[in-house]
Amino acid sequence: MTLFRRSVLAGAATLLPAPLLLRAARAADGKVVMASWGGGGARMWREVFAVPFQKESGVETSVVEVPDPAAAVAAAQGRPQHNAIVAASYQAANLARRGLIEEFDEADLPAIQHIPEQYRIRNTAGKLLGMPIYFIYYGIAFNSTLARAADFASWHALKDRKWRDQLSITRPLFLGPYDLTLYAKLNGGDEANIQPGVPMLEAVAKNAISVYTSMASLQQQLSRGEVTAAPFYSGQIQMLRREGQKEVNITLPREGGLVLSYILSVPKGAQDKAAALRYLNACIAPEKQVGAAQSGYLPLAANASLPAALEAELGMTMAEVREKNWSPNWYTIAADLEQRIRLTEQIIDRAR
């Protein structure tokens, strides 16, 4: 009787309509629940990455908006509600050092072959922390009615006292991994030796009239002329100018800037890891990389080429952007992140 029932059930399965079989297969594939910052970034992730992936793979995919994806993983304490997150590379490295994200081999992420080695984020054992997805570069944003690009031909121009009370700097949370690291590089150090950057950061901080607390606040300050210049993110200025705010621009000093890369990672202990890995690999497809570039996020993948109109907005080819910007070792930066942040807090206090 049992054998008869099994044979009937097996035969019945072959008679199921194709849509029912497809839904059953999709259910077995699990789902992707991705954490992203809110606003325009989350909309971009839905339209460019999540919706196309669901259509292509049949895997249910959603993008959940949170204040900070990396902080959401840390707060979950090993019981994450998401199985994919986007994070700044230094944040992912910090999570990895705390054992809070999965680590992978190249075999897990075959699409990483399209990401140049200098952009891959690894731990000391050589394990990958996820899929590097895109980047923005760190240059000097300025109000073009108050200054010219030539005024900031070098990063060292930010130390000039003629800019006293005319600059803005970011919070220590970013000042430590970004500005201090860059200034160390400009003065003979690197991401492992940040002390050469301290005098320069002190000089820039003395010229700052404010510490901006959000990207939106600095954008407003620059647009209104309340601030003349600030180290800032290329994608934000690109989108401002596209919206018609031509009084704000960005320049890349002759020494180059920083590649501020972002990575898709899988929280440790997340459900549906296989589905998340499919998502990570799919997001490197050239059409998705170009789609993200429409919102100011530049492709890390070597097999993605930007349309001429986007390169015209940048004022550089992608090859030039990559050549002129330095990608530090974010895992090294994460090793003493808290100390770097405390150091920048002290520098800001001394500058006041």
| pLDDT digits (tens), the chain, 352 positions | 333 333 333 333 333 344 433 343 344 479 999 999 999 999 999 999 999 999 999 999 999 999 999 999 999 988 999 999 999 999 999 999 999 999 999 999 999 999 999 999 999 999 999 999 999 999 999 999 999 999 999 999 999 999 999 999 999 999 999 999 999 999 999 999 999 999 999 999 999 999 999 999 999 999 999 999 999 999 999 999 999 999 999 999 999 999 999 999 999 999 999 999 999 999 999 999 999 999 999 999 999 999 999 999 889 999 999 999 999 999 999 999 999 999 999 999 999 8
All CATH 3.40.190.10 domain ranges in the chain, comma separated: 11-134+260-314, 136-258+331-351
Distance CA 35, CA 15 (A): 39
For residue 68, give the nearest of 96, 95, 48 by alpha carbon: 95
Distance CA 139, CA 132 (A): 21
DSSP 3-state of 213: coil
Name every residue whose Cβ is closer than 8 Å to that of residue 187 and which is 6 or more positions away in sequence. Answer: 196, 197, 199, 200
pLDDT tens digits for range 156-182: 999 999 999 999 999 999 999 999 999
Whose tokens are 């590097």? That residue is 132
CATH no. of 11-134+260-314: 3.40.190.10
Among 3.40.190.10, 3.50.50.60, 3.80.10.10, 3.40.50.700, name the CATH number for the domain at 136-258+331-351: 3.40.190.10
For residue 133, give the nearest of 259, 28, 2, 311 by alpha carbon: 259
For residue 56, CA distances in Å to 49, 52, 255 come to 11, 6, 43
Distance CA 264, CA 262 (A): 7
- Residue 69 near residue 85, CB atoms below 8 Å: yes
Backbone φ/ψ region at 16: left (φ over 0), alpha (ψ -120 to 50), beta = beta
Distance CA 230, CA 209 (A): 11
Specify the pTM: 0.89
